[in-house]
Each structure stands twice: as C-alpha cells, then as structure tokens.
Chains A and B, each alone.
Chain A
Amino acid sequence: MNEPKDVHHIVDYKILLKSGAALFALTFLTMIAFWNHHHLGAFAAPIAFLIAGVKAAIVMMFFMGLKYDSTMNRIIFGLGFFFLAVLMAFSALDIWTRVPVLGTI
C-alpha cells in the first residue's frame, strides 16, 4: 500500500462486514461460555477476557483502522494499554506484598 501521507484509508466494506460477523460470532461464543461457566470453573473468567480481547482487537484494527494507520499513531494507542498495565502491576504489587496481620497484642 503506497498512499500519500495523511490520506485516510477507506476500509473495504467486505472487510467491515466480515469483522462485524466475527464480532457477532464472538458475542455468541461469550454467551455459550457463560451458559457453561460452572463447567469451566476457574477458566471461565480468563476465557471471557480472552474473547473480549479478540473482539476489542478486531474493532481497533478494522473499524478504527489502526491496521492501516501510521506506526506513530499505533504507538500512541498502545501507550494507553501500557499505562493500564502500569496501574494493574503496581496495584497488584501492593496486594501481593502485604504482610498478613496474624494477631494483635
């Protein structure tokens, strides 16, 4: 793809339709996972997050057009996730390193 700089890429409607279909299919998959969450046990939540993550990636790549965007914009978008990871990592650091109170004097 050799487009002039700053020209907005128009995503082919067939790709948009396929992306939309994939989102509906994944939503249906989420419902199936929910109906079976007692069978999935501890895996229920990670599976739900995984499906949600794939759906978000489809939206970002095709509907938001990040797949065709400049590297700079992709980095800026990724920064949001980086700082989200920072928030979670440091909060987890606090929770995992708390010394449990065993008793009082």
Chain B
Amino acid sequence: MAATTHHHNPDVNYINEFKGIGSWLTSLDHKRIGLMYMISVLTFFLFGGIAALGIRLELFSPGQTVMTADQYNQFMTYHGAIMVFMVIVPGIPAILGNFFLPIHVGAKDVAFPRLNLLSWYVFMVGALMGIATLFMHKVDTGWTFYTPYSIKTSGAATMMVVAAFIMGMSSILTGLNFIATVHKLRCPGMTMYRMPLFVWAIYSTAILQLLATPVLGITLLLLAAERILGVGIFDPALGGDPVLFQHFFWFYSHPAVYIMILPAMGVVSELIAAFSRKTIFGYTAIAYSSLGIAAVSFFVWGHHMYVSGQSETAGIVFSFLTMLVGVPTAIKMFNWLATLYRGSISFQSPMLFALGFLFLFMIGGVTGIMLATLAVDVHFHDTYFVVAHFHYVMVGGTLMALMGGFYYWFPKMFGKMYNEGLARVTFVFIFIGFNVTFFPQFILGAMGMPRRYFDYIPAYESLNKISTVGSWLIGIGFLISLYVIIDGLLRGKKAPANPWGAKTLEWQVPSPPPHTNFHHDPVVTAGPYEYR
C-alpha cells in the first residue's frame, strides 16, 4: 500500500517523540488528545462510580443507614450528571474516536487539530466546574435538572447547568471535527464504503452532536436566565411552562442516548468481525442503520413525558414513532449474529465484552420497546424498571463496548500486551455483577418500587440487598481492570503491530503508531473486513 516513503526510526512513536508534560498539554496529535480524554474520563468515572456505590449502600437496608435523604439526592445527582456528561457522552467518541478515526480513514490527524485540543480544554473547564459544585451547596435536582424544582433549589444548580452547557460546546466541536475529517481527509482508495463501521458509527454520532447539543445549550441557558434574571420561561408562577423544559431537554437528551450507544455499536462491529475471522455480514445495512438510528432519534423524545402532563395525542404519536427505533437496531443485531454464524470465533477478552454487549443490549432494547408502549409505561414510569432498562442499555451496552474496545486497542495505543487471563476475570466480575445489580431492579420496578427515593417498604428489601451485592462485584471487576491496565503498562510484553490479525488500517502501522500515524502514505485497495 505504499506510495511515498519517508525515513523513519522504528523506535520513535507518538508517546516518546516529544517529552515533558508541556508537550502533552499543547499537543495537537489526535492520539495524545485521545489519551488525555482517557485519563480525564477515567478519573470522572471513579467519582461517578463511588457515588453509585454510595447509593447502593444506602439502599442495602430500608430506612436511613449511611446517609441522609438530602445526601442521597446529592449522590444520585452527581452519579447521573458525572456518568452522563463526563463519562458516557465523551467516552467512546472522545477517547477511541479521537485516537482511531483519523487512522481508520488513513489521515495524519483530524481536520482541525487545534480545535480538537480546544475541545479537550473546554471539556475540562466544564467538567471541573461541575465537580467544583461538590465544594459549594451541592446540587440535588437529578441529572435532568427538571423545572420547577431546579429553579427553586438552593443547590448550585446554575453552576452545574453552565458546566453541562460548556461540556456540550466541547461535544459540538468534537462532532464538527469528525464530520470534516471523514469528508475531507480520507486517503486515496478510502471510499465511504471502505470505511470501518466504527467510523460510520462515530460519523452518525457526530451528526447528532452537531444538531442536538445546541438545543441542550439553549435550554440550559434559558434555565440559568430564569434562575438569575427571573425571566418567565419554565416557571408557571412567571407565566412559563415546566413541560416545555422537558420538551427542550429531551429533544437533546434522547438523541444523546444514541450519542452514547452508537459509538458502542461501532466498536462491537469491529470486535465481532475481528474475532469471528469473517467478513462482516451486511456492511451497508449496518452503516445505514447507524444513520437511520440517528435520524429517528430526533422524533421520539416525547416518550419520556407520557405522564408529565403532555397531551394524550402527543403521547400516542411519540409511542408510535419510538417503535421505529427498533427497526434499525434490530437490523444491527441481526447482522452481528449473522457475522458470528459459522465464524472462527475466538473468545479473547475484547470478544467476551462484545458478546456481553449483545446479550445485555438485547435485554435493554426489548425492555425499551415495553417502555415505549404508552399504556405499559404509565405503570412503569418512574419505577426501578426504567432504571434497570436504562442501565442495561448504557452500562450493559456502552460500558461493555468501551471495555471491549479498550482491551482490543490497548496494544495499539500503548505498544504493550496486557494479562489476558486477568482481563477475562474482569469480564466475569463485571458481567455477573451487572446482572446481579440490575436484573432484580426489573422485578422491583414491576412490583412498583419508585426510583429516586432513599427509602422503601420492607417488601423490597431482599431484592435491594441482592442488587447492592451486585454493585460490589462490579466495583471489584473495575478494580481488577485498573490493575490489568497498570500491570500491562509497566510489565506488559511488547505488542506486535497486529496481535489480533485484524484488517483495518490501524493494525497495518506499528504499535504504538508514529506521530504522523503512517510511515508511508496509505493507499487503500480493499474493504476493512475481507477475512474470508
């Protein structure tokens, strides 16, 4: 595939070509920026995870145990806000997307490298502002900042809302950069239909980031204006409409669910093809279903509002439209299963996480159809059934894919192999722990246990105890993962260029890649999954 040859030293790569903390903080290299996002996101994940463990510990027994009701509301708010805005939304696009999208399309960097670095700084400003509210009057609104409570609360909601607005700006800049990169920087021979499906997924996500995030920004600014200036927009006392806030909020936040899950689907497409040693089944269908999910996601937000006071007519329309999301999602699921069929499957740790994704995401998806059904949702709304569904999609889906993708690309990112046996142990702990935590919550929800409450009646106690024990298993799983990463970085064997025998472009360059990604300008002559 070589067209132009440059002189190069094989021992020099993006990690060691430039030295010192300043070279990282001012780096325009997409790979380094991806790693900076990784360190930030993992740190915030630790905060969000501790909040989650705190919530589950309080719910281990009925009544007040380890925290007061007010503290519980704060734990719940910070768990949600941190995990959504600082971990899952930026997670896969900003870490793996930044690192691999340019290499996947054969480019030396993203289209706007300075904008890319700016987006990390903007993200950090927003995230640190959000974290700083922990040292002020803590926020207790929940991550959705619903009015009218968010207007009245004495917590530092304005600062948290402005923080989310700033992080949204970062998300927009990242999306813009990826769209421009895909359209303008593909190497010779890299047609749209030769791009890896991970790139298609990130591209679809970028469209959502660009079109939906500004609405969240405007909504949060309106909320801040109402809190600071007393402008009547959402507060009925001032002539506003609190349901309007929910319309605006969910117009972003439902597509945001797909901002969170579409990149995960892209990762899973890569993993399943690589570890089945087989050409992916239905490449075009998977690529277009990503765009289909992105498009449909803009028409379904009202299913969050069936019992909000929204009209019945609107509820029926949104219920019907929500069902449509099931079509492109099922197309993906079918194609992944068809790829597995008669493949030479190897159960290495990334593949275990991909298979875990298929299993858990299917449960999350099917229960989503249940919640989309208007009459059913009226019963399940605001119960633990919704909490379980959401976590099956976001943790069972996105987090499993992030872990799988991380293990898959770890050798490429750091040039080291990790302890495969221990990595599989992390999967066992996280997968079992996840199901032990969240499956009982489906039953609790069906029994009528409301979400967001810090106390419950004794009838719910045994299932809550099981759920809390599950959260400890997940925590142990992630601690072992941390050990696997550190051990791999310190003592891992040198990784070959292509340890998995995969076909996409990143595996054709050294591990770790050089500063400009390719020693030779790549020319693509075949598709990304031509195994057999």
Measured CB to CB, the residues of A under 8 A from B are 6, 79-80, 83-84, 86-87, 90-91, 93-99
Contacts and interface: CB of A to CB of B under 8 A. Distances in A.
B311 A94 contact: yes
B311 A99 contact: yes
A98 B241 CA distance: 13
14 contacts: A6-B184, A80-B211, A83-B298, A86-B298, A90-B247, A90-B299, A90-B301, A91-B244, A93-B317, A94-B305, A94-B311, A97-B311, A97-B314, A98-B309
Contact of B247 (A79, A83, A84, A94): A94
A42 to B, nearest CB: 17
Interface of B: 184, 211-212, 215, 241, 243-244, 247-248, 251, 298-299, 301-302, 305, 309-314, 317-318
Nearest to B252: A87
Nearest to A101: B309
A90 B305 CA distance: 12
Contacts of B313: 93-94, 97
B247 A87 contact: yes
A76 B251 CA distance: 19
B311 A98 contact: yes
Nearest to A94: B314
SS of A interface (majority): helix
B247 A91 contact: yes
Contacts of A87: 215, 247-248, 251
Contacts of A84: 215
A83 B215 CA distance: 10
Contacts of A79: 211
A91 B305 CA distance: 11
Chain A to chain B: the 5 pairs with minimum beta-carbon distance, closest first: A97-B313, A94-B314, A97-B311, A98-B311, A91-B247
A93 B299 CA distance: 13
A37 B468 CA distance: 61
A99 to B, nearest CB: 7
A98 B251 CA distance: 19
Contacts of A80: 211
Contacts of A98: 309-311
A56 to B, nearest CB: 15
Nearest to A6: B184
Nearest to A93: B314
Contacts of B244: 91
Contacts of B243: 94
Nearest to B214: A80
Contacts of A90: 247, 299, 301-302, 314, 317-318
B211 A83 contact: yes
Contact of B302 (A94, A95, A96): A94
Contacts of B241: 95
A94 B251 contact: no
B312 A99 contact: yes
A70 B215 CA distance: 26
B418 to A, nearest CB: 41
Given A94-B302, A98-B309, A98-B311, 14 more contacts: A83-B211, A84-B215, A87-B215, A90-B299, A90-B302, A93-B311, A93-B314, A94-B305, A94-B314, A96-B311, A97-B311, A97-B312, A97-B314, A99-B312
